[in-house]
Amino acid sequence: MNNENTQTVLIVGSTGYIGRAVVAEAVNQGYDVIAVTRSPAKEGEFAGAEVLVGDVSSPASIATMFPRKVDVVISCLATRSGLPKDFDDIDYIATLNVLNAAQEHGAEKFILLSAICVRKPDLPLQLAKLKMEDALMRSGIDYTIVRPTAYFWVFDTQTEMIMKGRPGYVVGSGEQAVHNPIAREDLAEFMVSSITNTERKDRVFVLGGPEVPDNIVSYRDALNMVFESLGKEPNIKSVPVWVLNTLINITWFIGLFSRKIGMFSAFLKVTRYYLVNDMRAPGYGSRTLKEHIMDTTRKIDT
């Protein structure tokens, strides 16, 4: 695209799976981009953007992220640990700190990456994101909130094992929930183009990938796509639901004494949520999961 846009866009959560794509898309659309990272970036890591190191958990540090007039803030912040307190600290409190700083420094718009799962809240992650959504809606700043469905990487976790000849695994039938996952490039394009799209002002968007057969899938469907792309006969093993539930209960108890196990237990809870709840959403973009899997297996194979 490379249009010359005069606005300055500050992006927090730049090092995340979606954040990196958002930085690249904002640069591509010609914005003056400030990418905030937790540690110094490698040379060329955020080509075309100014990189600032900052700690979003510190209001004093956040203040230094506004070296000049910032017009738009895009938050892709999300905790990577998975404990209830961490969700609240990052997905709510830290993000709220950024919002407050954005308003104090005269930003005109705030774009928030949320998640589709908040529409049926059951976990600390969802509650933290809902609190942040509410704070943003009440803030008075122009906003766009994006609630994407599952990302492609969710279905990547077993690809390398399958390539090594191991079976794929599902919980129960593997068909309890259906998704139309979205490519991070398509999601990034939607978020950045929301800067100038007046029809997206002060609105919440639930967003999925293309609503076509190659992208409307259960977890079992996704594994079958992996086997198909490798030219292998499907070899899928089923883990009973009660085994997952028992593992969650055991790791939750051990997690009271071990942070690492507690994080694993929280991860399992999120996994179970996505396994049993449909994540279909209005379609956007063009890239399908099948295309992604074919590209992934090709890259790994070479």
Mean pLDDT rounded to a whole number for the chain: 91
| Cross-strand partners of 9 | 33, 72
Instruction: Check whether 302 has a pLDDT greater than 70.
Output: no
Instruction: Check whether 19 has a pLDDT greater than 80.
Output: yes
Determine the pLDDT at residue 4: 65
Amino acid at 206: V
Q: Are 281 and 118 in contact (CB under 8 A)?
A: no
Q: Which element (helix H / strand E) includes 241?
A: helix 241-255
Confidence class of residue 301 from pLDDT cuts 50, 70 and 90?
low
Ordered structural domains, the chain, with CATH: 8-151+182-207 (3.40.50.720)
- Single pTM value for the model: 0.92
pLDDT in tens, 24-73: 999 999 999 999 998 887 777 899 999 999 899 898 999 999 988 999 99
Determine the pLDDT at residue 74: 98
d(CA 288, CA 174): 20
pLDDT in tens, 68-110: 899 999 999 988 766 778 889 999 999 999 999 999 999 999 9
d(CA 186, CA 289): 12
Determine the pLDDT at residue 6: 83
Q: Are strands 32-37 and 8-12 parallel, antiparallel or unpaired?
A: parallel
